[in-house]
Structure 1
């Protein structure tokens, strides 16, 4: 089974890569694509609320999807992964 189909393996690999290449605390850029539904966009905003995140959104040319870029200062690889796990609860979200 590849790490794309196994979230635990994916997050373990990501943690190792982050710890090997990043000195924490560090600015981290999250990129997501979500269906352009106000509730889904709001859910993503709430995940990063009150942690000093800068959030930029851009609708696709047809308006079907919205790209969300989030720049935030994160304290550790575990904190980064925790936000990815929280975001995965948003229906239809794609992490880039």
Structure 2
């Protein structure tokens, strides 16, 4: 995704979050990461010291791991900032 599309995506996400949530709110992040390598640990490290609840699930063939992260977030900007950090992990797909 190029920078302009990425900015547009985050602007729309912020708008939706402001309309549909009261703050602070529990937010659920979902990522798909290649099981091999350090991707799962890297994604989880983005949420260190935040009292996050992590749920990991291997794909049918074990090649990918789904990582769901639930935690209390203060506002849409905080949510978007974590997405921006997490999407730098090699091979990650954010849902």
- TM-score tier, shorter chain, comes to over 0.9
Query: Which residue of structure 1 lines up, in the alignment, with residue 78 of structure 2?
Result: 79
Measure, in 2, the Cα distance between the counterparts of 1:37 and 1:55.
18
Question: What count of residue pairs does the alignment treat as equivalent?
Answer: 94
Structure 2 CA distance, aligned partners of 1:76 and 1:6?
22
Q: Which residue of 2 aligns with 1:91?
A: 90
In structure 2, runs of 5+ residues without a counterpart are none
CA distance in 2, matches of 1:25, 1:12: 19
Secondary structure, in 3 states, of the residue corresponding to 1:66?
A: strand
TM-score (structure 1 length as normaliser): 0.93
TM-score, reference length from structure 2 = 0.94
Structure 1 segments, 4+ long, off by >6 Å, are none
Distance 1:17 1:61 in 2: 33
RMSD: 1.6
